[in-house]
Amino acid sequence: MESLWEQTWEQPSFPALDGDRNTDVLIVGGGMAGILCAYQLHGAGVPYVLVEAETICNGITKNTTAKITSQHGLIYDKLVSKFGIQRAKQYLAANEAALETYRQLCRNMDCDFEEKAAYTYSLDDAGKVDRELNALDKLGFSAECTDQTPLPFHVAGAIRFPHQAQFHPLKFVSGITKNLHIYEHTRVQELIGTTAVTDHGRIRAKKIIVTTHFPFLNKHGSYFLKLYQHRSYVIALEGAPNVDGMYVDQAQTGMSFRNYKNLLLAGGGDHRTGKKGGGWRELRDFARRHYPQAKEVYHWATQDCMSLDGVPYIGPYSASTKDLYVATGFNKWGMTTSMVSAMILSDLVQGKKTPYEEVFSPSRSILHPQLAVNGFEAVTSLLTPTTKRCPHLGCALKWNPAEHTWDCPCHGSRFTQDGKLIDNPATDDLNN
């Protein structure tokens, strides 16, 4: 089950660490966020090392739908209500700056970068779209409303962001990783202060950035309470229409659409990891009804860390940890947020101020309704009698019949049928 991106990519390779190293900044995790942090530090002349336990982009990045946009569902009305206009402006400005940075980097790169409009639609509530437009007007951003789209169903309303973008994420990675200080097959086994113990030597750093999708240190930051993971599915259809844009339902379990060359990528079937959901079956049923002449040529699935309030955690790992930083909780918008993370963290590790720090602070309040949901799932799972337990914090694993994996409903770790680790935050295989 390789994604479209994996099957159309000449993957670069990097050596494993071959002894001890000293550096200013250690980046742990070789997905898009870690790589962009490395790229920013490289350009700034800051000594750094990036280590990846397996190979770069082997986790979540390879399975993205690769939309680059500051439109993250109907988020701005919620941000204005929860945090006020100033923080909502920070969020918008950060993502617009990330989009522009991608635009500049991709200008002379073969990565299939295309400017496209982005749409968030509602199937049954035009009022939500109107409220989002009003919030954007307060923020000084020009967007449009419409109830006409090329999608094969009626929408009550949609909001349109012009001049957003899409690309081939792995071709982009090939373009920017040349000359970066990356070590693959180098797993961090332990952090002792700012010294990382790996299976190939020790790395002594002044500062550490953790970009491992789900943070692996449990004793700081309470990420096991602040995050849960959400699974979603994609099929690529040949012979389906060109929708000429990027579309996403405002509902978390709705569908998304974008084209790549002659293919239509349809996403959906979402569910909390370890729970039941529509999966590929839901997408294939949709394709049979609406695109009966189309042929499925690729299918894959992905997983996203979801924060309590819809805003990522980017900044100091916790209020009590010095010289340790994190980027996580990207809420299904990993490509744009990876660039936001690199912009913020590359400034922070250099002792610079960033205009976006406040809204993304990992130390902000955790008092949100999702916290109770996460706590309930954890308690229920811990009390469930079963022999299959996640080595992360001991939650009961659930069998995923669609993907033939063991999945954790608490924090989203996943394992093969034979017990080999697929997705973190667990760091070890199952003890069968």
CA-closest candidate to residue 319, choices 207, 190, 220: 220
Give me the pLDDT at residue 426, please: 83
Give me the pLDDT at residue 260, please: 97
Sheet of strand 421-423, all strands in order from the earlier edge strand to the far edge: 398-400, 405-407, 414-416, 421-423
CATH code of 369-419, in short, is 2.102.10.10
Structure tokens at 38: 């490395």
Regarding beta strands 228-238 and 144-146, do their DSSP bridges make them parallel or antiparallel, or are they unpaired? unpaired
The domain segmentation of the chain, as residue ranges, is 6-64+171-224+311-360, 369-419
Structure tokens at 70: 């500051």
407 pairs with which residues across the strands?
398, 414
337 by DSSP, 3-state: which? helix
Whole-angstrom distance, CA of residue 112 vs CA of residue 334: 18
Q: Is there a contact between 50 and 21 (Cβ–Cβ < 8 Å)?
A: no
To which H or E segment does residue 326 belong? strand 324-328
Whole-angstrom distance, CA of residue 261 vs CA of residue 315: 37
298 pairs with which residues across the strands?
236
- pTM of the predicted model over 0.85: yes
Q: Is there a contact between 90 and 358 (Cβ–Cβ < 8 Å)?
A: yes
Give me the pLDDT at residue 420, please: 87
**C-alpha dist (Å) from residue 156 to 145, 148, 260, 285:** 10, 9, 26, 23
Give me the pLDDT at residue 221, please: 87
Give me the pLDDT at residue 432, please: 55
Architecture of domain 6-64+171-224+311-360: 3-Layer(bba) Sandwich (3.50)
Regarding beta strands 114-122 and 246-249, do their DSSP bridges make them parallel or antiparallel, or are they unpaired? parallel
Cβ neighbours of residue 245 closer than 8 Å, sequence gap 6 or more: 116, 117, 118, 119, 258
105 by DSSP, 3-state: which? helix
To which H or E segment does residue 33 belong? helix 32-44
DSSP E strand stretches across 182-252: 182-183, 188-192, 195-198, 201-210, 228-238, 246-249
Task: Return the DSSP state at 181.
Answer: -
**C-alpha dist (Å) from residue 42 to 37, 45, 55:** 8, 5, 20
> From the CB of residue 110, how many other CB atoms can be counted at a distance below 10 Å?
11
CA-closest candidate to residue 360, choices 319, 327, 321: 327
CA-closest candidate to residue 343, choices 314, 321, 364, 385: 314
**pLDDT in 10s for each residue of the chain, 432 residues:** 799 999 999 999 999 999 999 999 999 999 999 999 999 999 999 999 999 999 999 999 999 999 999 999 999 999 999 999 999 999 999 999 999 999 999 999 999 999 999 999 999 999 999 999 999 999 999 999 999 999 999 999 999 999 999 999 999 999 999 999 999 999 999 999 999 999 999 999 999 999 999 998 888 888 989 999 999 999 999 999 999 999 999 998 899 999 999 999 999 999 999 888 899 999 999 999 999 999 999 999 999 999 999 999 999 999 889 899 999 999 999 999 999 999 999 999 999 999 999 999 999 988 888 888 888 887 787 777 777 888 888 888 888 888 889 898 888 889 888 888 888 888 888 875
Structure tokens at 311: 């805003």
Whole-angstrom distance, CA of residue 126 vs CA of residue 159: 10
54 by DSSP, 3-state: which? coil
In order, the DSSP letters of 241-303 are: PP--SEEEESSTTS-EEEEETTEEEEEEEEEETTS---HHHHHHHHHHHH-TT-EEEEEEEEE
Provide, for the chain, the percentages of residues in helix, strand and coil under a 3-state DSSP scheme, each rounded to the nearest 5: 30, 30, 45
Whole-angstrom distance, CA of residue 21 vs CA of residue 201: 8
> From the CB of residue 417, how many other CB atoms can be counted at a distance below 10 Å?
11
Q: Is there a contact between 158 and 149 (Cβ–Cβ < 8 Å)?
A: yes
Instruction: Give backbone dihedrals phi and psi of 84, rounded to 5 degrees, phi first.
Output: 95, 165
